[in-house]
Amino acid sequence: MKRKIIRIDEDKCNGCGECIPNCPEGAIQIIDGKAHLISDLFCDGLGACIGHCPLGAIKIEEREAQKYDEKKTMENIIKGGKNVIKAHLEHLKGHNQKELLAQAIDVLKEKNIEIPLKEQTEHSHGAEGCPGMKIVDSRTKKSKGQSNQPVNLESELKTWPLQLKLLNPQAPYFKDAELIIAADCVPFAYPNFHQKFLKGKTLIIFCPKLDEAQDEYIDKLAEIFKTNSIKSIITVHMEVPCCFGLGHIVEAALKKSGKNIVIRDYTISLQGELI
């Protein structure tokens, strides 16, 4: 059957193993110094491991693969103990995989094993397993001394397009540019984005989680870095693990370009604050 499943680029993988603790299904192992997907049956294709690869060697693709088997996966997970079981259940819950979650719980009940699943809280309706999909509702939160009167601020956006996939590396605004490379969600989450980060900068945006053109992005960024006299690079991403993939992509591109430019990295919280 054709379905979404991870692919590991062995040329990029250095065998660091950072992806393994974030794959409670046990689908990944280090073999001969490289990460390998040991069985299609154990990979649910939800990508919990992606944001933890420092080299951007893991991505999700759609291809012919064995159907994911929750019951067989649970047999493997149970061996890891309570914490691994808990991580897996919260992972499924976080991605709203209700059918798979029910199957996993059935296996635990059949074996008389405790179900270590967090209860839903008032403001968090599931999604503990995947912070990037966690539902957060802060509508009742009061603003810190802010007036209800609208404030007219001037946009600091001076270039177009913004999305990396649409950019031309030969665009004139890349000459002697100070780059701000941001995850898609950042300008919406951080209210002071224009004044703090964008002023006087050339903006590039992309999503390290949902965009499937990671290799293309590395190549394009490398060309931008290589063919232009870039003065500085700032990266800004959200605090959720998958968003840290933005920095890995930029670092890989910089290495490929052969340039030596210091990258300043910033993180934005889900509450819209600079961490």
**DSSP characters over 34-98:** EEEE--GGG--SS-TTGGG-TT--EEEEEEE-PPP-HHHHHHHHHTT-HHHHHHHHHHHHHTT-H
Q: What is the second-level CATH architecture of the domain 2-129?
A: 2-Layer Sandwich (3.30)
**C-beta of residue 51 within 8 angstroms of C-beta of residue 238:** no
> Which residue's entry shows tokens 């490398």?
222
Q: What is the pLDDT of residues 9-19, one digit of tens each?
A: 988 899 888 88
CB atoms within 10 A of CB 127: 19
**Res. 75: pLDDT tops 60:** yes
Torsion from C-alpha of 222, 224, 225, 227, nearest 10 degrees:
110
Q: What is the pLDDT of residues 102-146, one digit of tens each?
A: 999 999 999 999 888 764 433 334 444 455 666 666 666 666 656
Measure the CA–CA gap between 66 and 167, rounded to whole angstroms.
Answer: 37
- Give me the pLDDT at residue 128, please: 47
The residue that leads in pLDDT, 226 or 63, is 226
Q: What percent of the chain has pLDDT over 90?
A: 37
The residue that leads in pLDDT, 139 or 56, is 56
Output the CATH code of domain 164-268: 3.40.50
**pTM reported for the whole predicted model:** 0.57
Q: Indicate the domain borders of the chain.
A: 2-129, 164-268
Torsion from C-alpha of 130, 132, 135, 139, nearest 10 degrees:
150
